[in-house]
């Protein structure tokens, strides 16, 4: 009889990596239990993979890109030290309020400029506009994140709700926010991108 051997996850090793997750309710963990937010799950995934990472969750439900821009420098200044990476995810509330894509772009550009000034790499988690807002709005809005990723040499997860939106089993009853299973789905896709960016540091 052969004993079944269960592979244990690698213990976190190496220098501690500090990450700032800066976004809206999709980062804050709206509607899910403590410890089930996207930054929490990505942190757990990183640690299971052996990466000694701590993610500080600076997600604020309801934040637009303008609100995020106003608090971005303060959030960075409040960190224990300069983070090794920023996860930046804003724009969902902009599209819900039909804010001009030009305004959203300007706000995100200002935050990317600040990150560049501080020499902190960024992983962008993008947002997309629904078709009912019109082709022109949709095109202008959706291009913000790929354009910024290219301009600032940032890593991009093109659409944070990819594979989750429109899937009732993965969404909360508001059909806007993912449930815990949906967050796990996003985190499984996002974690390798974060690991890849940390590996460049």
What pLDDT was estimated at residue 15?
83
Contact at 8 Å (CB) between 90 and 108? yes
Give the DSSP letter of residue 17: E
CATH, residue 175: 3.40.50.1110
Answer whether residue 10 is part of any domain.
no
Answer whether residue 8 is part of any domain.
no
What pLDDT was estimated at residue 50?
94
How many Cβ atoms from other residues are within 10 Å of residue 73's Cβ? Answer: 14
The CB-based long-range contact list for 38-45 (8 Å cut-off, 24+ gap) reads: 38/183, 38/186, 38/187, 38/190, 39/87, 41/183, 41/184, 41/187, 42/87, 42/187, 42/190, 42/191, 42/194, 43/19, 45/187, 45/188, 45/191
Per the structure, the complete domain to which residue 94 belongs is given by 15-199
Give the DSSP letter of residue 178: B
Catalytic machinery residues: 25, 174, 177
Contact at 8 Å (CB) between 156 and 197? no
How many Cβ atoms from other residues are within 10 Å of residue 29's Cβ? Answer: 22
Answer whether residue 114 is part of any domain.
yes
pLDDT digits (tens, 9 = 90+) for 12-50: 667 899 999 999 999 999 999 999 999 999 999 999 999
pTM across the whole model = 0.92
What pLDDT was estimated at residue 193?
97
pLDDT digits (tens, 9 = 90+) for 107-164: 999 999 999 999 999 999 999 999 999 999 999 999 999 999 999 999 999 999 999 9
Residues 6+ apart with CB under 8 A from 186: 38, 160, 161, 162, 163, 164, 178
What pLDDT was estimated at residue 14?
72
Answer whether residue 7 is part of any domain.
no
Q: Tell me what the pLDDT averaged over the chain comes to.
A: 94
Total number of domains constituting the chain: 1
Q: Is a pLDDT exceeding 90 seen at residue 199? A: no
Q: Is a pLDDT exceeding 90 seen at residue 3? A: no
Answer whether residue 129 is part of any domain.
yes
Answer whether residue 176 is part of any domain.
yes
Place of tokens 């009853």: 173
Answer whether residue 30 is part of any domain.
yes
């Amino acid at each position: 009889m052969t004993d079944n051997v269960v592979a244990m996850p690698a213990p976190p090793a190496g220098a501690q990596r500090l990450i700032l997750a800066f976004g809206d309710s999709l980062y804050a963990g709206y509607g899910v239990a403590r410890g089930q937010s996207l930054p929490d799950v990505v942190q757990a995934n990183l640690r299971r993979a052996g990466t000694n990472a701590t993610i500080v969750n600076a997600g604020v439900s309801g934040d637009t890109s303008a609100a995020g821009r106003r608090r971005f420098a303060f959030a960075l200044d409040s960190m224990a030290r300069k983070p090794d990476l920023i996860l930046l995810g804003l724009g969902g509330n902009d599209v819900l309020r039909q804010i001009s894509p030009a305004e959203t772009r300007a706000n995100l550009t200002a935050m990317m400029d600040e990150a560049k000034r501080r020499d902190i790499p960024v992983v962008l988690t993008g947002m997309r506009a629904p078709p009912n807002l019109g082709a022109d709005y949709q095109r202008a809005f959706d291009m913000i994140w790929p354009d910024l990723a290219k301009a600032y040499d940032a890593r991009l997860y093109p659409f944070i709700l990819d594979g989750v939106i429109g899937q009732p089993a993965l969404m909360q009853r508001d059909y806007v926010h993912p449930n815990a299973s949906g967050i796990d789905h996003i985190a499984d896709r996002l974690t390798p991108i974060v690991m890849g960016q940390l590996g460049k540091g």
